[in-house]
Amino acid sequence: MIHDSKGTVYMIPIPIAEGELQSLSHEVTTYTGQITHYFVENIRTARRFIRSLHATLVIDSLHFSEIDKHTGPDIPLLRKWLKEGHAIGIMSEAGCPGIADPGAELVSIAQGMGANVVPLVGPNSLILALMASGLNGQSFCFAGYIPVKDPQRMKRIKELEAISQRDNQTQLFIETPYRNDHLLADLVKHCSGKTRLCIAQNITAPGGYVKTKTITEWSKAIPAMGKVPAVFLLLG
């Protein structure tokens, strides 16, 4: 069993596409077989994921704290577990925790307490999308979620395109999956025809794809994206 007087936080990546366990490193299996305390976005899916790696593990012996979408994580509990010297796993619902999810707040507290923070190797949709996009991988920025409504949305799209053109910097951003089609339509509407747009959807899953075209090229045949997670990358 892992134990350290300062406590240790393990950042545990989850497959981007459900069930694609081959995208994880062996160390994820190793550590999840020993960690007994977890902060997770959803207890039910976290338990199912751990069970998929360890069929004989007694899941009911583990301690879970679910990160509330409105009030955030239970910080006093994190402090308590760290002071007790526990190894604590942090899981998001997909990909790497701490990247566009609530795990960053927990890590900030752990760093402030002098605890060890160990990121485990696993899939990250942003980096995988950038790798396959053909856009600038030397200078890039993750802009998070785009505003939902105009005029804020149009303003933000044009702002990101202008930054990209000025600095030759790839801009990465995401949207809630059911609004993907609306975002793509707005990008085609508001961006220059020469701007390159990459759509990376359902990465690591069968049928997943990464495609880069100019806005003009996309406008000739706009795909129906549906409610599948995606990353958008823009380079003016």
Contact 110, 9 (CB under 8 A): yes
What mean pLDDT value characterizes the chain? 92
Share above pLDDT 70 across residues of the chain, in percent, rounded to a whole number: 98
Residue 224: other Cβ atoms inside 10 A: 7
Q: Is the pLDDT of residue 209 over 70?
A: yes
Continuous H helices in the chain: 26-32, 43-53, 75-83, 103-112, 125-133, 152-167, 180-190, 215-220
Domains of the chain: 8-119 (3.40.1010.10), 125-235 (3.30.950.10)
Strand pairing of 8-12 and 87-91?
Answer: parallel
- Give mean pLDDT, residues 22-42: 92
Q: 234: closest CA among 153, 136, 166, 154?
A: 136
Tell me the per-residue pLDDT of 98-141, one tens digit each, with 9 for 90 and over.
Answer: 887 778 899 999 999 999 999 999 889 999 999 999 999 999 99
Q: 107: closest CA among 93, 118, 120?
A: 118
Q: Is the pLDDT of residue 1 over 60?
A: no
Q: Is the pLDDT of residue 63 over 70?
A: yes
Instruction: Give the tokens for residue 54.
Output: 């360890």
Tell me the per-residue pLDDT of 167-192, one tens digit each, with 9 for 90 and over.
Answer: 999 999 999 999 999 999 999 999 99
| pTM for the structure as a whole | 0.87
| Residue labelled with tokens 């609306």 | 182
- Give mean pLDDT, residues 89-95: 90
Helix (H, G, I), strand (E, B) or coil at 64: strand
Instruction: Give the tokens for residue 187.
Output: 């990008």
Tell me the per-residue pLDDT of 71-90, one tens digit each, with 9 for 90 and over.
Answer: 889 999 999 999 999 999 99
